[in-house]
A and B are shown apart, each in its own frame.
Chain A
Amino acid sequence: MLSRGWKVGLISFAAVVFLAVGAFVVFQPVQVLPRVRLAPGFTLTDQSGESLTSEDLRGKFVLYSFTYTHCPPPCGDIDATIQAVQSRLPEVELYGNQVEFVTISVDPDRDTPEVLAAHAADLEAGPDWRFVTTDNPGALKDIVGGGFRTFYEQQDDGTFLLDPGFVLVDGYGVIRNEYRYQTVSPDVDRIVRHIGVIAEEVEKSTGAATLAYEAAHLFLCYSP
Protein backbone atom coordinates (compact mmCIF):
# COMPACT_ATOMS: atom_id res chain seq x y z
CA MET A 1 0.00 0.00 0.00
CA LEU A 2 1.20 3.45 -0.84
CA SER A 3 1.47 5.96 1.93
CA ARG A 4 -0.81 8.98 1.93
CA GLY A 5 2.11 11.18 0.88
CA TRP A 6 2.79 9.08 -2.22
CA LYS A 7 -0.87 9.06 -3.20
CA VAL A 8 -1.11 12.82 -2.95
CA GLY A 9 2.11 13.15 -4.94
CA LEU A 10 0.95 10.83 -7.71
CA ILE A 11 -2.46 12.44 -7.97
CA SER A 12 -0.91 15.94 -8.12
CA PHE A 13 1.54 14.78 -10.79
CA ALA A 14 -1.26 13.30 -12.91
CA ALA A 15 -3.30 16.47 -12.43
CA VAL A 16 -0.40 18.66 -13.55
CA VAL A 17 0.16 16.54 -16.69
CA PHE A 18 -3.56 16.56 -17.46
CA LEU A 19 -3.79 20.33 -17.00
CA ALA A 20 -0.68 20.93 -19.13
CA VAL A 21 -2.03 18.88 -22.03
CA GLY A 22 -5.47 20.42 -21.57
CA ALA A 23 -4.02 23.94 -21.58
CA PHE A 24 -2.05 23.13 -24.74
CA VAL A 25 -5.17 21.92 -26.50
CA VAL A 26 -7.45 24.70 -25.28
CA PHE A 27 -5.15 27.71 -25.55
CA GLN A 28 -3.16 26.44 -28.55
CA PRO A 29 0.03 28.37 -27.81
CA VAL A 30 1.16 27.67 -31.35
CA GLN A 31 -1.14 27.11 -34.27
CA VAL A 32 -0.18 25.14 -37.31
CA LEU A 33 -1.62 24.00 -40.58
CA PRO A 34 -1.71 20.23 -41.07
CA ARG A 35 0.68 18.60 -43.50
CA VAL A 36 -2.12 17.20 -45.60
CA ARG A 37 -0.18 15.25 -48.26
CA LEU A 38 2.47 15.78 -50.92
CA ALA A 39 1.80 18.10 -53.82
CA PRO A 40 2.35 16.40 -57.18
CA GLY A 41 5.63 16.49 -59.06
CA PHE A 42 5.27 18.10 -62.48
CA THR A 43 6.75 19.75 -65.55
CA LEU A 44 4.41 22.33 -67.09
CA THR A 45 4.82 25.14 -69.63
CA ASP A 46 4.10 28.74 -68.67
CA GLN A 47 2.76 31.77 -70.59
CA SER A 48 6.27 32.58 -71.93
CA GLY A 49 6.74 29.04 -73.23
CA GLU A 50 9.24 28.35 -70.41
CA SER A 51 9.04 25.14 -68.42
CA LEU A 52 7.97 25.32 -64.80
CA THR A 53 8.64 22.29 -62.59
CA SER A 54 7.61 21.46 -59.05
CA GLU A 55 11.33 21.60 -58.19
CA ASP A 56 11.60 25.22 -59.40
CA LEU A 57 9.08 26.09 -56.69
CA ARG A 58 10.80 24.24 -53.84
CA GLY A 59 11.55 26.61 -50.97
CA LYS A 60 8.66 28.92 -51.84
CA PHE A 61 5.03 28.98 -50.76
CA VAL A 62 2.74 28.43 -53.72
CA LEU A 63 -0.97 29.09 -54.09
CA TYR A 64 -2.31 26.93 -56.91
CA SER A 65 -5.57 27.58 -58.74
CA PHE A 66 -7.28 25.73 -61.59
CA THR A 67 -9.24 27.30 -64.40
CA TYR A 68 -9.21 27.99 -68.17
CA THR A 69 -9.40 31.26 -70.03
CA HIS A 70 -12.64 30.47 -71.89
CA CYS A 71 -14.40 29.66 -68.65
CA PRO A 72 -17.73 31.55 -68.42
CA PRO A 73 -18.55 33.62 -65.31
CA PRO A 74 -18.31 33.19 -62.35
CA CYS A 75 -14.91 31.66 -63.20
CA GLY A 76 -13.38 35.15 -63.18
CA ASP A 77 -13.78 35.04 -59.41
CA ILE A 78 -10.85 32.62 -59.31
CA ASP A 79 -8.46 35.21 -60.78
CA ALA A 80 -10.09 37.91 -58.62
CA THR A 81 -9.36 35.84 -55.50
CA ILE A 82 -5.68 35.59 -56.46
CA GLN A 83 -5.55 39.36 -57.01
CA ALA A 84 -7.20 39.97 -53.65
CA VAL A 85 -4.72 37.66 -51.89
CA GLN A 86 -1.82 39.45 -53.60
CA SER A 87 -3.07 42.88 -52.56
CA ARG A 88 -3.60 41.78 -48.94
CA LEU A 89 -0.35 39.86 -48.56
CA PRO A 90 1.46 42.85 -47.00
CA GLU A 91 -0.86 42.38 -43.99
CA VAL A 92 1.06 39.31 -42.83
CA GLU A 93 4.67 38.85 -41.76
CA LEU A 94 6.33 36.52 -44.28
CA TYR A 95 9.75 36.39 -42.55
CA GLY A 96 11.40 36.64 -45.95
CA ASN A 97 9.51 33.72 -47.50
CA GLN A 98 8.49 34.13 -51.13
CA VAL A 99 4.93 33.48 -52.27
CA GLU A 100 4.25 32.39 -55.85
CA PHE A 101 0.94 31.98 -57.64
CA VAL A 102 0.44 29.22 -60.19
CA THR A 103 -2.74 28.97 -62.21
CA ILE A 104 -3.07 25.68 -64.07
CA SER A 105 -5.27 25.66 -67.18
CA VAL A 106 -7.22 22.44 -67.76
CA ASP A 107 -7.77 23.41 -71.42
CA PRO A 108 -4.39 23.07 -73.19
CA ASP A 109 -6.04 22.87 -76.65
CA ARG A 110 -7.17 26.49 -76.47
CA ASP A 111 -4.85 27.83 -73.75
CA THR A 112 -1.62 28.04 -75.73
CA PRO A 113 1.22 30.07 -74.19
CA GLU A 114 0.12 33.05 -76.39
CA VAL A 115 -3.46 32.90 -75.08
CA LEU A 116 -2.22 32.54 -71.50
CA ALA A 117 0.20 35.45 -71.99
CA ALA A 118 -2.65 37.66 -73.23
CA HIS A 119 -4.78 36.59 -70.24
CA ALA A 120 -1.91 37.36 -67.83
CA ALA A 121 -1.51 40.79 -69.46
CA ASP A 122 -5.26 41.48 -69.06
CA LEU A 123 -4.93 40.71 -65.37
CA GLU A 124 -1.73 42.77 -65.09
CA ALA A 125 -0.15 39.72 -63.49
CA GLY A 126 3.36 40.17 -62.14
CA PRO A 127 6.30 37.77 -62.58
CA ASP A 128 5.24 35.86 -59.44
CA TRP A 129 2.01 34.71 -61.11
CA ARG A 130 2.53 31.91 -63.64
CA PHE A 131 -0.14 30.53 -65.98
CA VAL A 132 0.76 27.00 -66.95
CA THR A 133 -0.49 23.88 -68.67
CA THR A 134 0.77 20.87 -70.65
CA ASP A 135 -0.33 19.38 -73.96
CA ASN A 136 0.00 15.89 -72.45
CA PRO A 137 -3.58 15.19 -71.28
CA GLY A 138 -2.55 12.14 -69.22
CA ALA A 139 0.05 14.14 -67.30
CA LEU A 140 -2.42 17.01 -66.77
CA LYS A 141 -4.99 14.61 -65.31
CA ASP A 142 -2.33 13.05 -63.03
CA ILE A 143 -1.30 16.48 -61.76
CA VAL A 144 -4.63 18.31 -61.40
CA GLY A 145 -6.98 15.36 -60.89
CA GLY A 146 -4.68 12.98 -59.04
CA GLY A 147 -2.20 15.23 -57.25
CA PHE A 148 -4.38 18.26 -56.47
CA ARG A 149 -7.62 16.21 -56.36
CA THR A 150 -9.40 18.82 -58.45
CA PHE A 151 -12.03 17.36 -60.72
CA TYR A 152 -12.44 18.57 -64.33
CA GLU A 153 -14.04 17.13 -67.42
CA GLN A 154 -14.67 18.67 -70.84
CA GLN A 155 -18.29 18.75 -72.01
CA ASP A 156 -19.56 18.40 -75.59
CA ASP A 157 -20.04 22.17 -75.87
CA GLY A 158 -16.37 22.79 -75.08
CA THR A 159 -16.92 24.06 -71.54
CA PHE A 160 -15.54 22.15 -68.59
CA LEU A 161 -17.10 20.79 -65.48
CA LEU A 162 -14.63 22.13 -62.96
CA ASP A 163 -14.58 22.18 -59.16
CA PRO A 164 -13.01 25.52 -58.37
CA GLY A 165 -10.45 25.43 -55.64
CA PHE A 166 -7.17 26.74 -54.29
CA VAL A 167 -4.35 24.68 -52.86
CA LEU A 168 -1.66 26.09 -50.58
CA VAL A 169 1.71 24.31 -50.74
CA ASP A 170 4.75 24.97 -48.53
CA GLY A 171 8.45 25.07 -49.44
CA TYR A 172 8.80 21.32 -48.89
CA GLY A 173 6.18 20.55 -51.53
CA VAL A 174 3.62 19.61 -48.88
CA ILE A 175 -0.03 20.60 -49.27
CA ARG A 176 -1.00 22.62 -46.17
CA ASN A 177 -4.59 23.49 -46.99
CA GLU A 178 -7.23 23.25 -49.70
CA TYR A 179 -9.98 25.82 -50.24
CA ARG A 180 -13.02 24.58 -52.10
CA TYR A 181 -16.63 25.46 -52.92
CA GLN A 182 -16.27 29.12 -52.08
CA THR A 183 -14.95 31.81 -54.27
CA VAL A 184 -14.23 35.31 -53.12
CA SER A 185 -14.09 36.88 -49.68
CA PRO A 186 -14.09 34.12 -47.03
CA ASP A 187 -11.30 32.24 -48.81
CA VAL A 188 -9.17 35.36 -49.20
CA ASP A 189 -9.19 35.95 -45.43
CA ARG A 190 -8.24 32.37 -44.66
CA ILE A 191 -5.59 32.08 -47.39
CA VAL A 192 -3.85 35.28 -46.27
CA ARG A 193 -3.96 34.22 -42.61
CA HIS A 194 -2.73 30.71 -43.44
CA ILE A 195 0.24 32.00 -45.44
CA GLY A 196 1.16 33.93 -42.28
CA VAL A 197 0.79 30.77 -40.15
CA ILE A 198 3.16 28.69 -42.27
CA ALA A 199 5.66 31.55 -42.52
CA GLU A 200 5.63 31.79 -38.72
CA GLU A 201 6.18 28.05 -38.36
CA VAL A 202 9.16 28.17 -40.74
CA GLU A 203 10.61 31.07 -38.76
CA LYS A 204 9.95 29.88 -35.21
CA SER A 205 10.05 26.08 -35.24
CA THR A 206 13.76 25.80 -34.58
CA GLY A 207 15.56 24.23 -31.63
CA ALA A 208 13.36 23.43 -28.64
CA ALA A 209 10.37 25.16 -30.24
CA THR A 210 10.33 22.38 -32.85
CA LEU A 211 8.86 20.13 -30.15
CA ALA A 212 6.06 22.57 -29.43
CA TYR A 213 5.26 22.77 -33.15
CA GLU A 214 5.34 18.99 -33.61
CA ALA A 215 3.11 18.68 -30.54
CA ALA A 216 0.72 21.16 -32.12
CA HIS A 217 0.58 18.93 -35.20
CA LEU A 218 -0.20 15.95 -32.92
CA PHE A 219 -2.77 17.71 -30.76
CA LEU A 220 -4.46 19.20 -33.83
CA CYS A 221 -3.96 22.87 -32.99
CA TYR A 222 -5.09 23.72 -36.48
CA SER A 223 -5.64 27.25 -37.59
CA PRO A 224 -9.29 27.58 -38.71
Chain B
Amino acid sequence: MTDLQESPRSKPVGRLLPVVLGITVVLALFAWLVLPRLRPHQFSGTVLQSEVPAADFTLTSANGPVSLSDYRGKLVVLYFGYTFCPDVCPTTLSDVNRALAQIGDEAEDVQLIMISVDPARDDPAKLAEYVEFFNPTFVGVTGTDDEVRSAATPFGIWYEAHDEEGASGYLVDHVATLNVIDREGRLKLVIGYGTGADAIAADLEYMLR
Protein backbone atom coordinates (compact mmCIF):
# COMPACT_ATOMS: atom_id res chain seq x y z
CA MET B 1 0.00 0.00 0.00
CA THR B 2 2.66 2.48 0.98
CA ASP B 3 5.94 2.94 -0.80
CA LEU B 4 7.83 1.83 2.24
CA GLN B 5 6.27 -1.62 2.35
CA GLU B 6 6.96 -2.23 -1.28
CA SER B 7 10.57 -1.11 -1.03
CA PRO B 8 13.28 -3.80 -0.88
CA ARG B 9 14.01 -2.84 2.78
CA SER B 10 10.68 -4.38 3.84
CA LYS B 11 12.09 -7.92 3.48
CA PRO B 12 14.48 -7.87 6.47
CA VAL B 13 11.75 -6.20 8.59
CA GLY B 14 9.46 -9.08 7.74
CA ARG B 15 12.07 -11.64 8.77
CA LEU B 16 12.83 -9.72 11.97
CA LEU B 17 9.17 -9.61 12.99
CA PRO B 18 9.13 -12.96 14.89
CA VAL B 19 12.35 -11.98 16.69
CA VAL B 20 10.95 -8.57 17.68
CA LEU B 21 7.71 -10.18 18.82
CA GLY B 22 9.67 -12.75 20.81
CA ILE B 23 11.75 -10.10 22.54
CA THR B 24 8.61 -8.09 23.30
CA VAL B 25 6.94 -11.13 24.86
CA VAL B 26 10.03 -11.91 26.95
CA LEU B 27 10.24 -8.30 28.13
CA ALA B 28 6.54 -8.25 28.97
CA LEU B 29 6.87 -11.52 30.91
CA PHE B 30 9.88 -10.08 32.74
CA ALA B 31 7.93 -6.93 33.64
CA TRP B 32 4.93 -9.01 34.71
CA LEU B 33 6.76 -11.59 36.80
CA VAL B 34 9.93 -9.96 38.04
CA LEU B 35 9.30 -6.24 38.47
CA PRO B 36 6.61 -6.64 41.17
CA ARG B 37 9.18 -8.63 43.19
CA LEU B 38 11.71 -5.82 42.90
CA ARG B 39 9.26 -3.31 44.33
CA PRO B 40 10.03 -2.83 48.01
CA HIS B 41 7.41 -4.36 50.30
CA GLN B 42 5.12 -1.75 51.76
CA PHE B 43 3.99 -2.85 55.19
CA SER B 44 0.36 -2.39 56.14
CA GLY B 45 1.47 -2.25 59.75
CA THR B 46 3.74 0.32 61.38
CA VAL B 47 7.40 -0.75 61.40
CA LEU B 48 9.38 -0.09 64.56
CA GLN B 49 13.17 0.12 64.80
CA SER B 50 13.28 -1.50 68.26
CA GLU B 51 16.84 -2.57 68.98
CA VAL B 52 16.24 -4.43 72.23
CA PRO B 53 13.94 -7.43 72.78
CA ALA B 54 10.34 -6.68 73.67
CA ALA B 55 9.38 -6.83 77.35
CA ASP B 56 9.13 -10.48 78.37
CA PHE B 57 6.24 -11.89 80.36
CA THR B 58 5.32 -15.23 81.89
CA LEU B 59 1.60 -16.02 82.02
CA THR B 60 -0.49 -19.17 82.36
CA SER B 61 -1.93 -21.27 79.55
CA ALA B 62 -3.95 -24.46 79.82
CA ASN B 63 -0.67 -26.33 79.27
CA GLY B 64 1.32 -24.47 81.90
CA PRO B 65 3.40 -21.30 81.97
CA VAL B 66 4.16 -19.48 78.70
CA SER B 67 6.81 -16.80 78.22
CA LEU B 68 7.29 -14.60 75.19
CA SER B 69 10.96 -15.62 75.20
CA ASP B 70 9.97 -19.31 74.75
CA TYR B 71 9.27 -18.45 71.12
CA ARG B 72 12.65 -17.02 70.02
CA GLY B 73 13.23 -18.18 66.47
CA LYS B 74 9.57 -17.82 65.55
CA LEU B 75 7.46 -14.80 64.70
CA VAL B 76 5.04 -14.13 67.54
CA VAL B 77 1.77 -12.36 66.85
CA LEU B 78 0.65 -10.96 70.17
CA TYR B 79 -2.99 -10.08 70.65
CA PHE B 80 -4.85 -8.77 73.67
CA GLY B 81 -8.50 -9.77 73.87
CA TYR B 82 -11.04 -11.75 75.88
CA THR B 83 -13.47 -14.59 75.32
CA PHE B 84 -16.64 -12.54 75.94
CA CYS B 85 -15.48 -10.08 73.25
CA PRO B 86 -18.50 -9.54 70.98
CA ASP B 87 -16.96 -8.92 67.56
CA VAL B 88 -13.52 -7.32 67.39
CA CYS B 89 -11.64 -10.33 68.79
CA PRO B 90 -13.38 -13.01 66.69
CA THR B 91 -12.83 -10.92 63.54
CA THR B 92 -9.15 -10.42 64.28
CA LEU B 93 -8.48 -14.04 65.24
CA SER B 94 -10.20 -15.39 62.14
CA ASP B 95 -8.27 -12.86 59.99
CA VAL B 96 -5.00 -14.16 61.44
CA ASN B 97 -6.15 -17.74 60.84
CA ARG B 98 -6.92 -16.96 57.18
CA ALA B 99 -3.59 -15.15 56.82
CA LEU B 100 -1.73 -18.22 58.14
CA ALA B 101 -3.66 -20.46 55.73
CA GLN B 102 -2.52 -18.21 52.85
CA ILE B 103 1.10 -18.36 53.97
CA GLY B 104 1.04 -22.17 53.91
CA ASP B 105 3.82 -24.33 55.35
CA GLU B 106 5.90 -21.42 56.57
CA ALA B 107 3.07 -20.50 58.94
CA GLU B 108 4.58 -23.13 61.26
CA ASP B 109 7.06 -20.40 62.16
CA VAL B 110 4.30 -18.04 63.31
CA GLN B 111 2.81 -18.32 66.79
CA LEU B 112 -0.27 -16.37 67.84
CA ILE B 113 -0.59 -15.70 71.55
CA MET B 114 -3.73 -14.09 72.93
CA ILE B 115 -3.39 -12.48 76.34
CA SER B 116 -6.68 -12.09 78.19
CA VAL B 117 -7.56 -8.57 79.29
CA ASP B 118 -10.39 -10.10 81.36
CA PRO B 119 -8.55 -12.40 83.77
CA ALA B 120 -11.53 -12.45 86.15
CA ARG B 121 -13.67 -14.40 83.69
CA ASP B 122 -11.09 -16.08 81.38
CA ASP B 123 -9.47 -19.09 83.01
CA PRO B 124 -6.76 -20.94 81.06
CA ALA B 125 -9.04 -23.84 80.04
CA LYS B 126 -11.73 -21.54 78.72
CA LEU B 127 -9.15 -19.45 76.84
CA ALA B 128 -7.66 -22.56 75.23
CA GLU B 129 -11.06 -23.72 74.04
CA TYR B 130 -11.78 -20.23 72.67
CA VAL B 131 -8.56 -19.63 70.72
CA GLU B 132 -8.34 -23.22 69.41
CA PHE B 133 -11.75 -22.75 67.85
CA PHE B 134 -10.08 -20.27 65.47
CA ASN B 135 -6.86 -22.23 64.95
CA PRO B 136 -5.55 -25.25 66.88
CA THR B 137 -2.05 -23.73 67.08
CA PHE B 138 -3.21 -20.54 68.83
CA VAL B 139 -2.25 -20.17 72.49
CA GLY B 140 -4.26 -18.25 75.09
CA VAL B 141 -2.73 -17.01 78.35
CA THR B 142 -3.90 -15.20 81.44
CA GLY B 143 -2.70 -14.33 84.94
CA THR B 144 -3.47 -12.12 87.91
CA ASP B 145 -4.67 -8.55 87.31
CA ASP B 146 -1.17 -7.27 88.06
CA GLU B 147 0.55 -9.81 85.82
CA VAL B 148 -1.71 -9.02 82.87
CA ARG B 149 -1.28 -5.26 83.35
CA SER B 150 2.50 -5.62 83.52
CA ALA B 151 2.44 -7.66 80.30
CA ALA B 152 0.10 -5.26 78.48
CA THR B 153 1.61 -1.87 79.44
CA PRO B 154 4.85 -2.07 77.41
CA PHE B 155 2.90 -3.01 74.27
CA GLY B 156 0.88 0.21 74.51
CA ILE B 157 -2.22 -1.76 75.44
CA TRP B 158 -4.79 0.18 77.42
CA TYR B 159 -7.90 -1.71 78.57
CA GLU B 160 -10.78 -0.99 80.89
CA ALA B 161 -13.93 -2.90 81.86
CA HIS B 162 -17.23 -1.09 81.61
CA ASP B 163 -20.86 -2.06 82.18
CA GLU B 164 -22.89 -2.20 79.03
CA GLU B 165 -26.59 -1.49 79.29
CA GLY B 166 -28.65 -4.47 78.21
CA ALA B 167 -25.60 -6.71 77.96
CA SER B 168 -25.14 -9.51 80.41
CA GLY B 169 -22.14 -8.77 82.56
CA TYR B 170 -19.62 -6.23 81.31
CA LEU B 171 -17.47 -5.46 78.29
CA VAL B 172 -13.77 -4.68 78.23
CA ASP B 173 -12.54 -1.86 75.99
CA HIS B 174 -9.04 -2.65 74.76
CA VAL B 175 -6.50 -1.65 72.16
CA ALA B 176 -7.05 -4.13 69.32
CA THR B 177 -3.67 -4.07 67.56
CA LEU B 178 -1.62 -7.11 66.56
CA ASN B 179 1.97 -6.82 67.76
CA VAL B 180 4.43 -8.84 65.65
CA ILE B 181 7.66 -9.86 67.37
CA ASP B 182 10.52 -10.99 65.12
CA ARG B 183 12.66 -14.12 65.46
CA GLU B 184 15.14 -12.24 67.67
CA GLY B 185 12.38 -11.22 70.08
CA ARG B 186 12.09 -7.58 69.00
CA LEU B 187 8.75 -5.89 68.46
CA LYS B 188 8.95 -4.97 64.77
CA LEU B 189 5.42 -4.40 63.52
CA VAL B 190 2.14 -3.08 64.87
CA ILE B 191 -0.87 -3.98 62.74
CA GLY B 192 -4.05 -2.00 63.29
CA TYR B 193 -7.51 -3.48 63.71
CA GLY B 194 -9.33 -4.11 60.43
CA THR B 195 -6.19 -4.61 58.32
CA GLY B 196 -7.60 -7.80 56.77
CA ALA B 197 -6.20 -11.29 56.17
CA ASP B 198 -4.49 -10.56 52.82
CA ALA B 199 -2.50 -7.61 54.14
CA ILE B 200 -1.60 -9.46 57.36
CA ALA B 201 -0.38 -12.41 55.28
CA ALA B 202 1.74 -10.12 53.07
CA ASP B 203 3.42 -8.48 56.07
CA LEU B 204 4.06 -11.80 57.83
CA GLU B 205 5.39 -13.42 54.65
CA TYR B 206 7.87 -10.59 54.23
CA MET B 207 9.01 -10.94 57.83
CA LEU B 208 9.42 -14.71 57.40
CA ARG B 209 11.93 -14.28 54.56
- Where the two chains meet, the residues of A that have a C-beta atom closer than 8 Å to any C-beta of B are 34-43, 53-55, 138-139, 142-143, 146-147, 172-174, 210-211, 214-215, 217
- When distances are taken between beta carbons in the complex, the residues of chain B under 8 Å from A36 are 48-50
- Known: A43-B158, A173-B156. Is A210-B42 also a contact (CB below 8 A)? yes
A35's partner among B49, B157, B160 (CB-CB below 8 A) is B49
For A215, list chain B residues within 8 Å (CB). 40
Q: Is the CB of A147 within 8 A of B153?
A: yes
Asked if B68 is at the interface (CB within 8 A of a chain A CB), the reply is no
Interface of B is mostly: mixed
Given contacts A138-B150, A210-B42, A211-B40, contact A39 B156 (CB under 8 A): yes
Main DSSP-derived SS at the A contact region: mixed
Binding site for A on B (CB under 8 A): 40, 42, 46-50, 52, 55, 146, 149-150, 152-160, 175, 179, 187, 190
Does the CB pair B152–A174 fall under 8 Å? no
A61 to chain B, nearest CB (A): 15
Q: Are A142 and B153 in contact (CB under 8 A)?
A: yes
Q: Which residues of B contact A214 (CB under 8 A)?
A: 40, 42, 47
Q: Are A40 and B154 in contact (CB under 8 A)?
A: yes
CB neighbours of A53 from chain B (8 A): 158, 160
A217 touches B190 (CB 8 A): no
Q: Across the interface, name the chain A residue whose C-beta is closest to B48.
A: A35
Q: Are A35 and B47 closer than 8 Å at their CB atoms?
A: yes
Q: Which residues of A contact B152 (CB under 8 A)?
A: 41
* A15 to B55 Cα, complex, angstroms: 43
> Does the CB pair A172–B154 fall under 8 Å?
no
Query: Which residue among A142, A143, A147 has the maximum number of chain B CB atoms within 10 Å of its CB?
Result: A142
How many Å lie between the Cα of A2 and that of B201 in the bound state? 41
Q: Please report the C-alpha to C-alpha distance between residue A35 and residue B43 in the assembled complex, in whole angstroms.
A: 14
From the candidates A34, A146, A210, A211, name the one contacting B153 in the complex (CB within 8 A): A146
Give every chain B residue within 8 A of A138 (Cβ-Cβ).
Answer: 146, 149-150
Known: A38-B154, A38-B179, A42-B158. 12 other contacts (CB 8 A): A35-B47, A36-B50, A38-B187, A41-B153, A41-B158, A42-B153, A53-B160, A54-B158, A142-B153, A146-B153, A174-B48, A214-B47
Q: Which of B42, B156, B160, B175 has the largest count of A CB atoms less than 10 A from its CB?
A: B156
Show 30 residue pairs from A and B whose CB-CB distance is below 8 angstroms, ordered by the A residue.
Answer: A35-B47, A35-B49, A36-B48, A36-B49, A37-B52, A38-B154, A38-B187, A40-B154, A40-B156, A41-B152, A41-B153, A41-B155, A41-B157, A41-B175, A42-B153, A43-B158, A54-B156, A138-B146, A138-B150, A139-B153, A142-B149, A142-B150, A142-B154, A143-B153, A172-B46, A172-B190, A210-B42, A211-B40, A211-B42, A214-B47
Closest chain A CB from B41 CB (angstroms): 10
Which chain B positions have C-beta within 8 A of A147? Answer: 153-154
Could you tell me the distance between the alpha carbons of A40 and B187 in the complex, rounded to whole angstroms? 13
Asked if residues A146 and B160 are in contact (CB atoms below 8 Å), the reply is: no
Complex: how many Å from CA A37 to CA B47? 10
Contact residues in A for B175 (Cβ distance below 8 Å): 41, 55
Closest to A138 in B: B146
Asked if A146 contacts B154 (CB within 8 A), the reply is: yes
With A138-B146, A146-B150 known as contacts, the answer to whether A37 contacts B158 (CB < 8 A) is no
Report the minimum CB–CB distance from A80 to chain B (whole Å): 29
Name the A residues within 8 Å of B52 (CB-CB): 37
Q: Bound state CA distance, A41 and B187, in angstroms?
A: 15
Shortest Cβ distance from A215 into B: residue: B40
Chain A neighbourhood of B47, CB < 8 A: 35, 214, 217
Instruction: List, in ascending order, chain A residues with CB within 8 A of B50's CB.
Output: 36-37
